[in-house]
Structure 1
């Protein structure tokens, strides 16, 4: 019995010494090993999508996660949200900056001539104005001059592994491999934003397959090097999301002094003629045809009752599908207009101050608690948040301006 115990002890001691002699495995290395195993487990899905074994092995060999990306959920670390997009943290005057618009409009006028044949073909085939697709290109990558900084495959792989939208990015990873396997673009050239959007007009891999167009007729859809393909693909995406040919994106108007800014939500839609009869006046004496006045539109006041006001058509919301931000659509729509008419907005932006995202989110929580707001708690003062703020101001006996100000924040804090 004692001899058996001694033997067991000696074996345990030897095993312990062996472990002690091995190099320590850091948590990061262990995590990366798990990442490698996760990527390997995706081979059956990649194979089903048409990715060859050669492509899978080549592109995943040595692939490592990028834990510095935003929007990840990492054990032992606080959740990281998406970075604060300029569209949601800058006041309109800073985002739709006149100097930027003027520069991009001038370049857009030159590109209108350079790509005239392709742009004419796009307008004829899709019904999307040349200026709109050029404006999207200008906003997304500065007409291709902005070099997207991330490796697309690494981004979508990391997001599929530890991102907040794993299922979505699992698909994006498989489709990114498929793109690389088809040889349209090299891994080095397929760079992206932190969220995996790639090419001149920033498409996710899934959007590439849904909306990609080979306009130049070379047998491949190349949104990284072919301007005709990239712009036609942007037009196809707009069409697939409901673009209406011959309809403006919006009309700038002067709002009546008694305007109820809480009406500025997509759900409140009236024929443009009805808005005009209620006192909204197109700027600079613009005359609208009977067909234009019959079209439905929603009210948009990006700074509440301050700054410019707009009557937005269905095409406004189609552009918003590209980037869910009112300021993004205003930038693209206004840039498109400026390529043909060199006039700024008729009403200047006010010198409004943007509250911190945490303050706006605190407002959203309070508005949700009292039943005035039912959307996301994201710290972004979009249409629904502004309308809910206006409803709160009515209830609290405050000035109704539909803008997240320090005054409203203090009132809510006192109420809490």
Structure 2
């Protein structure tokens, strides 16, 4: 362990030496890159005065994640940290209840606005409140980054340069049009901004001036921010009157490899196969006919869910099952104080590098054909389960050291 620590220390020292040098060498290139954007910005309707004012003295932020820099180890997004977070850590009960309690107060405070949003868009008030709560702690969290600097850096040396180039131009247009000031345009490390966290191009597609003051203001106007979130969900396929998911108890003989979006059938059919509503009760004919997919975030362990189309609509807001579970459950908790009926079971998750190794091995064996990202998502768990079947291992669809060793032995 001491040798490993020493090597790590040397690597860190080299990293600290190389990055500033690389950054300094690239600054001139960054300045030229930003200047080269003027024709594109002009075509988009950005004024020359705004372009010059916003880009004057603009410097890149080479400390951002998801960049590709000379002399710097390749890094992924924070969501791809060294250890994958288990659901119990992401969905901490104390955090959920704290947000739900605050959300109940906001439900009363903004009741007329929320009722009008729900009537117009068909998205429940609790869902848009939950998005607001998850994204910026109901506006109590100040976003830490200068959005323009983030977008410019990502457009210059990020992994998704073309996407961020468009986002940067869109941000300049928002400032040029007087929609938002440069000072107010704070963002996450990925450039999402406002109370409900929109990328600039998303705001252009889905923004709503709900308070009718002549501009879409998701930074200071709660009505605009919440209505824009609702409009985005509608534009991505939200179906009014349908829940996001139903927590269920899976039968002992349930096949966890069926837990993929492509396996969809009416909720009534799932119930006939032995799945049961976790808290009992009966569903109406419309609910029983609603198509749903099986979600078992911890394989056969922990809670199970039947997820509707609206689950996957929320997932387009943020492509993470844990994010959707957080938002959906928080929305429920604002009006229902009960936690998940089944407690989360996993206390440990494989390292991201190990999950990547697992994905590579599953790909080599023909069980997996999706991206290698170190995340144990739906498709990875299903592929893992298919391998477990073929290798006559316990079928649990959960990435463990035992299954990883088996895959490596199979090589």
Name the residue aligned to 2:208. Answer: 213
C-alpha deviation, 1:90, in angstroms: 1.1
Name the residue aligned to 1:382. Answer: 377
2:126 corresponds to which of 131, 139, 147: 131
**Distance between the aligned counterparts of 2:155 and 2:80, measured in 1?**
22
Note the 1:9-408 alignment, pairs <5 A.
28-84=23-79, 89-408=84-403
Name the residue aligned to 1:3. Answer: none
**Distance between the aligned counterparts of 1:29 and 1:327, measured in 2?**
39
C-alpha deviation, 1:30, in angstroms: 4.0
Provide the secondary structure at the position in 1 that maps to 2:78: coil
What is the CA deviation profile of residues 252-284 of structure 1, one whole-angstrom value per residue up to 9, with x for unaligned ones? 111100000000000000111110100001122
Name the residue aligned to 1:4. Answer: none
Change (3 A) 1:342 1:28: closer
What is the CA deviation profile of residues 10-64 of structure 1, one whole-angstrom value per residue up to 9, with x for unaligned ones? xxxxxxxxxxxxxxxx764442111111111110110110100000000000001
Provide the secondary structure at the position in 2 that maps to 1:252: strand
Unpaired runs of at least 5, structure 1: 1-25
Change (3 A) 1:110 1:52: same
What is the CA deviation profile of residues 100-159 of structure 1, one whole-angstrom value per residue up to 9, with x for unaligned ones? 111011001000011111101110110000000000000011001111111000000011
**Distance between the aligned counterparts of 2:47 and 2:182, measured in 1?**
16
Structure 1 vs Structure 2 CA RMSD: 1.2
C-alpha deviation, 1:352, in angstroms: 3.5
Aligned length: 390
**Distance between the aligned counterparts of 1:218 and 1:73, measured in 2?**
42
TM-score using structure 2 length: 0.93
8 Å CA contact retained: 1:248, 1:313: yes
C-alpha deviation, 1:410, in angstroms: 1.3
Unpaired runs of at least 5, structure 2: 1-20
Change (3 A) 1:51 1:228: same
8 Å CA contact retained: 1:223, 1:230: yes
Change (3 A) 1:85 1:340: farther
Provide the secondary structure at the position in 1 that maps to 2:247: strand
Provide the secondary structure at the position in 1 that maps to 2:165: helix
What is the CA deviation profile of residues 211-243 of structure 1, one whole-angstrom value per residue up to 9, with x for unaligned ones? 110101111100000011000000000001000
**Distance between the aligned counterparts of 1:294 and 1:284, measured in 2?**
20
What is the CA deviation profile of residues 270-317 of structure 1, one whole-angstrom value per residue up to 9, with x for unaligned ones? 111110100001122221111111110000001100111110000000
**Distance between the aligned counterparts of 2:348 and 2:76, measured in 1?**
23
**Distance between the aligned counterparts of 1:294 and 1:67, measured in 2?**
51
8 Å CA contact retained: 1:32, 1:64: yes
8 Å CA contact retained: 1:156, 1:173: yes
The higher radius of gyration belongs to 1
What is the CA deviation profile of residues 327-368 of structure 1, one whole-angstrom value per residue up to 9, with x for unaligned ones? 111110010001111111111111441111001110000000
8 Å CA contact retained: 1:302, 1:309: yes
8 Å CA contact retained: 1:303, 1:352: no
C-alpha deviation, 1:185, in angstroms: 2.0
